[in-house]
Amino acid sequence: MKLQRKNRLRALSLGALAVSGALALTACGSDDTGSTSGGGDSSATAKAGDIKCDDAKGQLLGIGSSAQANAVDAWRQAYSQACSGVQVNYKPDGSGAGVTAFNQGQVAFAGSDSALKPEEVTASKKVCSGGQGIDLPMVGGPIAVAFNLDGVDSLVLDAPTLAKIFNSEITKWNDPAIAKLNPGAKLPSTKIQPYHRSDESGTTDNFTKYLKAAAPSNWKYEGGKAWQAKGGQSATGSAGVAAGVKQTAGAIGYMELSYAKDGVKTVDIDTGASAPVKATTENASKAIADAKVVGTGNDLALELNYATKADGAYPITLVTYEIVCDKGNKSDTLAATKSFLTYTASDAGQAALSDLGYAPIPTEINAKVRTAIASIS
């Protein structure tokens, strides 16, 4: 059974990667990335009883985080094959766009790499009749800092140095601050080309939360989904940032780990632990497991420890939430919303994350997610 399940997971992972470049609002379209293990051959998974369609039917539309797009692609493939009466569409326009669309009543769920702010919760009450929007952590993973520097395959940076780089205070790769962290490395005098997101993004929010927490004297910006620092180059979506870094000599940018591929190298972070920490799903899971639930009731917003010094804990980590109404969901999408999210939070759904470069939600937190999904109405 274990071998059979492993083969199923690999089959779904390969299928997800085959379609991840398509951004069509169709049952199999989506774009941008996420990462985590593959869920398995979807038809076989459905036969195993992992996906329960119940009374789900019609179209289910979501908008939001590009970070989780690859995960949603994999989930949609499995779910749509098991539940042919439902068409799940997801448009990865960014967390900010997702929250806006949700609070305008345009979508059944939104994906966001940041929990709802108090004013956003208040706004959600207008579309969630008798209820409000809640945050359900569904996908975890590291935010990698990718770089493109000829002759340098391994690079260590810390929070103060990263803050100065992304604030255009350190502008050359052979700067003494970088050289100190990389003794023996042959650093060129190449100009640093920092890339950031042009769209409102939970990835930006989490990256800057890290800089604020770990380098407070060097990063004075308020933070949030919109980039605030001066200088640098901008690109839309994590895919845009990844493309910019890959195509530009001397570039550096932040993105989900699943985007840091095809020869793109990633920075190891000096957190003050016994050794610099690599951006891996395992190291991200160590950080997520240390998170605290700060939401109330069925709202499961988390507080991450961005300034962690624990050995092996990668500090620049995000959690993507699915945002739904706890009460007052539209009658024509309620069954599909519950059915689809029940699958994504299931053992099979979470297992699909690791092979795609994501970190599954820790068991204790995920148990609360399942309870919250079961109660939405």
> For the chain, what percent of residues have pLDDT higher than 90?
74
Looking at this protein, which amino acid is placed at residue 140? G
pLDDT digits (tens, 9 = 90+) for 143-197: 999 999 999 999 999 999 999 999 999 999 999 999 999 999 999 999 999 999 9
Give which of 232, 246, 230, 253 is closest to 316, Cα–Cα: 253
The whole-number average pLDDT for the span 51-68 is 92
Say what the pLDDT of residue 220 is.
Answer: 95
Mean pLDDT, the chain, whole residue set: 87
Instruction: Sketch out the chain's domains with CATH numbers.
Output: 2-140+323-375 (3.40.190.10), 143-286 (3.40.190.10)
Contacts 24+ apart (CB under 8 A), 160-165: 160/215, 160/217, 160/218, 162/211, 162/215, 162/267, 163/211, 163/215, 163/218, 163/219, 164/218, 165/192, 165/194, 165/252
Say what the pLDDT of residue 20 is.
Answer: 35
Say what the pLDDT of residue 21 is.
Answer: 33
Say what the pLDDT of residue 362 is.
Answer: 87
Which tokens belong to 198? 């042009």
**Residue 242: pLDDT above 70?**
yes
Assess contact for 50 and 347: CB atoms under 8 A: yes
Taking CA 218 as the corner, what is the angle to CA 214 and CA 140, rounded to the nearest 5 degrees? 35
Assess contact for 287 and 303: CB atoms under 8 A: no
Q: State the Cα–Cα distance between residues 366 and 347, nearest whole angstrom.
A: 10
pLDDT digits (tens, 9 = 90+) for 5-16: 444 444 444 333
Q: Is 49 exposed, middle or buried (0-12, 13-18, 19+ CB in 10 A)?
A: exposed
Strand 251-256 relative to strand 193-197, pairing: parallel
| Other C-beta atoms lying within 10 Å of the C-beta of residue 263 | 7
Say what the pLDDT of residue 355 is.
Answer: 82
Model confidence at 339, in pLDDT bands (50, 70, 90)? Answer: very high
